[in-house]
């Protein structure tokens, strides 16, 4: 018998005077959830293009669908300044604010679904938001995946160039985005062929239908204020994933971060043939598999 179909529903949470748009995907009449997932987007795009992408004639690029088909209750949220959330206020939409918006999201989802703990995935600055949230509020985090993460910024070619361009930028301002800019996310690591042109086109279209500008806050944080996360205080199980060609963080930066994580339930994985935007790569199935495998890993019975 076919399993019940997957549905998507919109929700709204409040945080410090802002309305936050939440998008939920799950099976109809889901009774035995594999877990409640919160997905955290990056600096230059809202949540639904990142996690629920539709590409004509090329199915499978929605991480939300992938997890929902495996019986997870999957949520994502537009941070303030992005997508359908409030974006008319002049604020520093940075990493710390993002962590508090995640707290507001968790509180809403707990009331709506009854979930006690959450499986978190964050990409790029979303990984920083998720990590800081997990550091401050470990009681809500079951497992944490940090993809395209950066700790101190040491050895980052991408952040070095970004620091030059945004040396005088104000954290309260916004920067323009357009399809040409979105394409640079895929070309800047010198491996533009790692993603299909039609996927890049569909992703850029989805991003720019929601936003023609995005906040500077996370860019300023990542070029001037790192480190923002203390690995010694990050207590939940952690999976760190890095694309083979990702220029956002050096191996040395991530390995040192990984070595300082106190929980022995931790993994570090390098993903071949992948640059920064892992979810839209030709090899996207690798990161999808790693996320679900880590989320479904049995908890240890014996801890010594």
Locate the domains of the chain by residue range: 6-295
CB-CB neighbours of 269 under 10 Å: 15
User: Quick one: pLDDT at residue 276?
Assistant: 97
Q: How far is CA 295 from CA 6, 118, 257, in A?
A: 20, 10, 21
CB-CB neighbours of 189 under 10 Å: 20
pLDDT tens digits, one per residue of 255-291:
999 999 999 999 999 999 999 999 999 999 999 999 9
pTM of the complete model beyond 0.75:
yes
Instruction: Give the rounded percent of residues in the chain with a pLDDT score beyond 90.
Output: 96
The confidence band for 3, taking pLDDT boundaries of 50, 70 and 90, is: confident
Among residues 73, 69, 85, the alpha carbon closest in space to that of 25 is found at 73
Q: Which CATH superfamily is domain 6-295 in?
A: Alpha/Beta hydrolase fold, catalytic domain (3.40.50.1820)
Q: Does the pLDDT value for residue 1 go beyond 60?
A: no
Task: Give the helix ranges, DSSP H, for 7-156.
Answer: 47-51, 63-68, 95-113, 125-136
pLDDT tens digits, one per residue of 65-90:
999 999 999 999 999 999 999 999 99
Q: Does the pLDDT value for residue 222 go beyond 90?
A: yes
Rounded to the nearest integer, the mean pLDDT of the chain is 96
Residue 26 has which token pair? 């799950």
Q: Which residues contact 202 (CB under 8 A, 6 or more apart)?
A: 53, 54, 55, 56, 61
Which helix (H) or strand (E) covers residue 223, if one does?
A: helix 217-224
Q: What is the mean pLDDT of residues 36-61?
A: 98
The whole-angstrom separation of Cα 76 and Cα 84 is: 12
Q: Which residues contact 204 (CB under 8 A, 6 or more apart)?
A: 179, 182, 183
User: Quick one: pLDDT at residue 4?
Assistant: 75
Q: Which residues contact 64 (CB under 8 A, 6 or more apart)?
A: 8, 23, 25, 39, 51, 52, 74, 76
Among residues 46, 49, 99, 82, the alpha carbon closest in space to that of 221 is found at 99
User: Quick one: pLDDT at residue 2?
Assistant: 65
CB-CB neighbours of 212 under 10 Å: 11
User: Quick one: pLDDT at residue 29?
Assistant: 81
Q: What is the mean pLDDT of residues 92-113?
A: 97
User: Quick one: pLDDT at residue 31?
Assistant: 80
Residue 12 has which token pair? 């709204």
List the beta strands (DSSP E) in the chain: 6-15, 18-27, 35-40, 72-77, 118-123, 141-147, 174-176, 213-215, 238-243, 266-271
Is residue 250 within 8 Å of 277, Cβ to Cβ? no
Q: What is the mean pLDDT of residues 1-13?
A: 88
Instruction: Give the rounded percent of residues in the chain with a pLDDT score beyond 70.
Output: 99
pLDDT tens digits, one per residue of 229-265:
999 999 999 999 999 999 999 999 999 999 999 999 9
């Amino acid at each position: 018998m076919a399993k019940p179909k997957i549905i998507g529903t919109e929700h709204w949470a409040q945080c410090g005077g802002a309305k936050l748009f939440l998008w939920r995907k799950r099976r109809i009449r889901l009774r035995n959830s594999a877990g409640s997932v919160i997905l955290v987007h990056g600096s230059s795009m809202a949540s639904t293009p990142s996690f629920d992408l539709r590409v004509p004639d090329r199915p499978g690029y929605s991480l939300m669908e992938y997890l929902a088909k495996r019986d997870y209750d999957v949520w994502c949220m537009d941070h303030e300044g992005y997508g359908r959330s409030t974006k008319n206020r002049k604020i520093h939409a940075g990493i710390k604010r993002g962590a508090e918006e995640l707290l507001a999201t968790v509180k809403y989802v707990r009331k709506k679904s009854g979930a006690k703990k959450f499986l978190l995935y964050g990409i790029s600055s979303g990984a920083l938001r998720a990590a800081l949230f997990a550091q401050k509020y470990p009681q809500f985090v079951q497992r944490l995946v940090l993809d395209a993460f950066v700790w101190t910024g040491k050895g980052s070619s991408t952040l070095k160039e970004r620091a030059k361009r945004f040396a005088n930028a104000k954290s309260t301002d916004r920067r323009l985005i357009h399809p040409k800019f979105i394409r640079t996310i895929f070309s800047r690591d010198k491996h533009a062929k790692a993603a299909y042109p039609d996927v890049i086109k569909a992703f850029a279209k989805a991003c720019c239908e929601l936003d023609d500008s995005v906040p500077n806050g996370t860019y300023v944080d990542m070029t001037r204020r790192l480190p923002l996360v203390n690995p010694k205080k990050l207590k939940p199980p952690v999976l760190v994933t890095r694309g083979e060609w990702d220029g956002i963080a050096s191996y040395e930066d991530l390995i040192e971060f990984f070595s300082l994580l106190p929980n022995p339930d931790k993994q570090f994985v390098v993903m071949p043939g992948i640059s920064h935007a892992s979810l839209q790569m030709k090899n996207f199935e690798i990161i999808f598999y790693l996320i679900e495998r880590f989320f479904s890993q049995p908890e240890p019975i014996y801890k010594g």
